[in-house]
Amino acid sequence: MTIAFPAGASWLSRWRRPLESVLLPIAALVVALLIFGIFCALSGANPLAVYGSIYRAAFGSWSAWQNTLIRAAPLMLTALCTALPARLGLVIIGNEGALVIGGLCAVVMGLSVGATLPPFMGQMAMAIAAIVGGGVWIMLAGALRHYRGVNETISSLLLNYIAIAVMNHLVEGPMRDAEFVTKPSSAELSEALWMGTIPGSRIHYGLIYGLIACVLAYVLIQRTTFGFAARTTGGNLRAARIAGLPVGKLTLAVCFLGGSCAGLAGMIEVAAVQKRINESLVSNYGYAGILVAFVSRHNPLATILVAVLLGGILASGGILQRSHDLPDATVLVFQGIVFLCVLFSDSLYGRLPWFQEKPVV
């Protein structure tokens, strides 16, 4: 018996996988919208009016776009904390902890150098401290996985709580600014170290950092031998070992790179938004970055689009509360629904008949 593929099968086989990777996430988002609409209706709000309010708050005006892009900047970076290790088959969810440690290291560096360095050099010193701090934090989870067999998902999750506890201890003790009485906080950074905004807007330069990081991550993973080795290891660990690939070094390096992106997001938040460190730094950008990574299928370029969409949803929390009497946490409910739908859609890859090869006997 001879199995042959119909004419044009080469073209179809070339496009089946890309179409599947695009259409399934879109279908998951549509289902999430329907479920969220039911939730809004049960809460006494008109779902269509709620969707209209979300659109206006996120993309309805230039001011709305600025609010969206300000929130999208850290999401791009925290998403890479999950997306890059995923190429090795690792599920890292320590984004929030790496962001906190990065912000903490940046503030310590900023308070140390003060105004002694030129503004650009001072900000670069803060960025390097944040990158190293966040990278080492996530590298701990990778080291525990590779050398001790500890599940990286659990260890990175627990590292979040440790990072937050360390930050709270420092801002309530050794680093506390006695003159700031609103809540325990560190001293304010020198104004020379504040991150500026793009001319003609309220959008800080953190957005540029996020875009550059996503593009560089894509090039690293898809266009370099290092990225090929990482993808090979993630595809088949045993084959990678047989081929002589340095699995341990790859694990540590990729986890460091992922954590360094989240750490940089922490530096951006303290330099552009908070101007000091306190509990406000724990704003769930790290956890939202996990959702961005999964919706984008761990593609650094797709991360940009998904981060903008989710940034718009986050920007709409206030208007949902004012206009529809919905809790401000409604956007978190929406995030959770989207996350569950995307996770379910992952189980459908390669199983739907529309995306399978149909041999002709």
Cα radius of gyration rounded to whole Å, the chain: 22
pTM higher than 0.85 for the full model? yes
Q: What is the mean pLDDT of the chain?
A: 89
pLDDT at residue 331 tops 90: no
Write the CB contacts of 120 (distance below 8 Å, at least 6 apart in sequence): none
271-326: pLDDT as tens digits: 999 999 999 999 889 999 999 999 898 999 999 999 999 999 888 888 888 888 88
State the pLDDT at residue 61. 92
* Region of poorest pLDDT, from 159-168, 182-191, 230-239, 325-334: 325-334
Q: Where are the domains of the chain?
A: 76-285
pLDDT interval class at 3 (50, 70, 90): very low
Judge residue 135's burial from the number of C-beta atoms within 10 Å of its C-beta, 0-12 exposed, 13-18 middle, 19 or more buried: buried
209-259: pLDDT as tens digits: 999 999 999 999 999 999 999 999 998 888 888 888 999 999 999 999 999
121-130: pLDDT as tens digits: 999 999 999 9
Q: CA 116 → CA 124, 193, 202, 358, distances in Å?
A: 13, 11, 27, 68
The rounded distance, in Å, linking the Cα atoms of 166 and 42 is 41
* Region of poorest pLDDT, from 62-66, 272-276, 339-343: 339-343
Judge residue 350's burial from the number of C-beta atoms within 10 Å of its C-beta, 0-12 exposed, 13-18 middle, 19 or more buried: exposed
Cβ 271 vs Cβ 189: under 8 Å: yes
Nearest to 290 by CA among 228, 342, 217, 345: 342
* Region of poorest pLDDT, from 26-30, 232-236, 328-332: 328-332
Cβ 276 vs Cβ 177: under 8 Å: yes
State the pLDDT at residue 229. 93
pLDDT at residue 97 tops 70: yes
